[in-house]
């Protein structure tokens, strides 16, 4: 097609699942059953392969979709507010849990609390985020233990956190379209201005970091279903975590359903793809390696104390010249894992290796014009797993799917999937 319509702002949507006979049987709240494949076809009209997905016509390829996401000014959009809770792991490391809270009536008081609640030695937080007071934390922990309202837990990407526009859009969408649901972003060690307090960094194998938090949620609120969402690298973590859960006796005990957005299913293929695309090679990879280098330098004192053989003055000099994600992982990340090189780390921890183990209903979204992750999607493996639904598009980029109104279609998809699942499925 020539002319303006040939730019490609009308995406084709393909849905890949096991056929009805092989698909997972889900129990409805009226005690009848429905196949997962039928649920997707009948109850998610947003996924209609017969219709085109209309995105922003000015962002007519994956590069533009991706660059818009990484450079957009969202300071006046998605104005969600967070209350931060620190979660301490057994190794004394911490993550931060950013809970969506109501918009404050008094912004001045909110900013005052931002300063008053900031722990000594911690960096100030992003706009509209503050630490919860002791009274608020007590109230949160003593919240109704019999509540059945869902919790949506969000795992961000490699250089992300609760401050990202896409995650704020998702958090805001869930909060505004549901009643009583809890929405929380799990900011990994060192991310979103969370200090590193141990010798452990987050990696693609940090599945226990997710598990420990969700187990704590279940201890607090045993009757609240948990929906889990992962974006980009966070999607890989979610997949690896769910695969491990699938090998347990009761894999449905922690997560009711999950969604992954732009997951890098094969890290080796993704690393090669990143090198081959202009956007990946000259923009994304250098930016990611710079962020990770900054994470190390900002937390050098703590890291050098706990893992001096890995993080030392030599490391600081090396990461000054690192300009690719592969090099950073080769020099730093893999040395905090059992793997000897970035290649081995990528090969062993690629989600494609274990996605057949997943036994949690999962909706995965990937675009074949993604400049950041591999686009050789493991369709046959996913169709062989009755718990999987892969949504493939030919436009959307990496964490893009930007619509004309500046909001993200992938957010609508995940939000509608969770809402409909909770409405119908027991």
pLDDT-derived band of residue 262, with 50, 70 and 90 as boundaries? very high
Residue-number span of the structural domain to which 333 is assigned? 267-349
Residues 29-34: what's their mean pLDDT? 96
**Helices 267-276 and 342-349, axial angle in degrees (round to 10):** 120
What digits encode the pLDDT tens for the residues 201-240?
Answer: 999 999 999 999 999 999 999 999 999 999 999 999 999 9
Asked if pLDDT for residue 1 goes beyond 60, the answer is no
| Active-site residue, selected from the candidate residues 188, 198, 232, 367 | 232
Residue 35 lies in a domain: no
For residue 210, tell me if it sits in a domain: no
Instruction: Confirm whether 107 is domain-assigned.
Output: no
Mean pLDDT score, 183-195: 96
* Count of domains for the chain: 1
Whether residue 325 is contained in a domain is answered as yes
Residue 353 confidence (pLDDT) above 90: yes
Q: Which of 294, 278, 167, 144 is nearest to 229 (CA)?
A: 167
Contact status, residue 8 vs residue 61, Cβ threshold 8 Å:
yes
Which pLDDT score, from 0 to 100, does residue 300 have? Answer: 94
Give tens-digit pLDDT for 356-415: 999 999 999 999 999 999 889 999 999 999 999 999 999 999 999 999 998 999 999 999
Question: Regarding predicted confidence, which is higher, 52 or 142?
Answer: 52
Query: Is the pLDDT score of 4 beyond 50?
Result: no
User: Among 103-107, 138-142, 290-294, 309-313, which stretch is predicted with the lowest mean pLDDT?
Assistant: 138-142
> Of 268, 416, 234, 255, which is closest to residue 339 (Cα–Cα)?
268
Residue 97: predicted pLDDT = 98
Residue 293 lies in a domain: yes
Q: Is the dihedral of CA 131, 132, 135, 141 positive or negative?
A: negative
Catalytic residue selected from 209, 266, 329, 370: 370
Q: Average pLDDT in the 264-272 region?
A: 95
Residue 167: CB atoms within 10 A of its CB come to 28
Question: Does 398 participate in catalysis according to the annotation?
Answer: yes
- Full-model pTM: 0.95
Give the per-residue SS3 of 75-142.
CCCCCCEEEEEEEECCCCCEEEEEEEECCCCCHHHHHHHHHHCCCCCCCCCCCCEEECCHHHHHHHHC
pLDDT > 70: what percent of the chain?
A: 98
268-288 average pLDDT score: 89
Domain for residue 305, yes or no? yes
The pLDDT value given to residue 5: 38
Contact indicator for 74, 190 with CB cutoff of 8 Å: no
9 vs 56: CA distance, rounded Å: 6
The pLDDT-based confidence of 280 (bands split at 50, 70, 90) is confident
CA dihedral 335, 336, 338, 339 (to 10 degrees): -40
Res 7: pLDDT: 55
Is 221 within the bounds of a domain? no
In a domain, 242, yes or no: no
């Amino acid at each position: 097609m020539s002319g303006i319509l040939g730019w490609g702002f009308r995406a084709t949507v393909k849905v890949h699942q096991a056929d009805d006979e092989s698909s997972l049987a889900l129990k409805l709240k009226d005690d009848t059953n429905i196949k997962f494949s039928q649920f997707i076809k009948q109850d998610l009209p947003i996924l209609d392969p017969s219709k085109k997905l209309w995105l922003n016509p000015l962002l007519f390829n994956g590069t533009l979709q991706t660059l818009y996401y990484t450079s957009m000014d969202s300071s006046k959009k998605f104005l969600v507010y967070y209350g931060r809770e620190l979660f301490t792991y057994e190794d004394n490391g911490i993550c931060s849990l950013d809970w969506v809270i109501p918009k404050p009536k008094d912004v001045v008081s909110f900013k005052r609390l931002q300063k008053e609640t900031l722990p000594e030695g911690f960096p100030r937080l992003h706009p509209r985020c503050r630490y919860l007071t002791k009274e608020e934390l007590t109230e949160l922990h003593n919240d109704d233990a019999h509540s059945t309202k869902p919790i949506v837990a969000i795992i961000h990407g490699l250089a992300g956190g609760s401050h990202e526009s896409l995650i704020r859009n998702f958090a805001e969408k869930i909060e505004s379209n549901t009643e009583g649901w809890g929405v929380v972003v799990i900011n990994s060690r060192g991310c979103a201005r969370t200090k590193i307090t141990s010798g452990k960094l987050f990696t693609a194998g940090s599945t226990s970091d997710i598990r420990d938090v969700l187990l704590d949620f279940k201890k607090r609120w045993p009757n609240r279903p948990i929906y889990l969402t992962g974006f980009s690298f966070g999607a890989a973590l979610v997949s690896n975590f769910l695969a491990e859960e699938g090998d347990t006796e009761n894999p449905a005990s922690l997560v009711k359903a999950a969604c992954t957005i732009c997951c890098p299913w094969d890290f080796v293929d993704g690393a090669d793809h990143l090198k081959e695309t202009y956007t990946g090679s000259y923009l994304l990879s250098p930016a990611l390696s710079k962020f990770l280098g900054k994470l190390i330098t900002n937390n050098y004192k703590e890291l050098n104390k706990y893992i001096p053989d890995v993080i030392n003055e030599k490391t600081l000099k090396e990461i000054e010249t690192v300009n690719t994600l592969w090099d950073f992982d080769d020099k730093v990340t893999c040395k905090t894992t059992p793997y000897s090189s970035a290649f081995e780390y990528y090969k062993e921890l690629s989600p494609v290796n274990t996605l057949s183990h997943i036994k949690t209903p999962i909706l995965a979204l990937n675009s074949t014009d993604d400049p950041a992750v591999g686009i050789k999607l493991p369709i046959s493996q996913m169709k062989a797993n009755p718990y999987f639904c892969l949504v493939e598009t030919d436009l959307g980029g990496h964490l893009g799917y930007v619509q004309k109104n500046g909001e993200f279609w992938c957010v609508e998809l995940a939000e509608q999937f969770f809402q409909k699942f909770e409405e119908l499925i027991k």
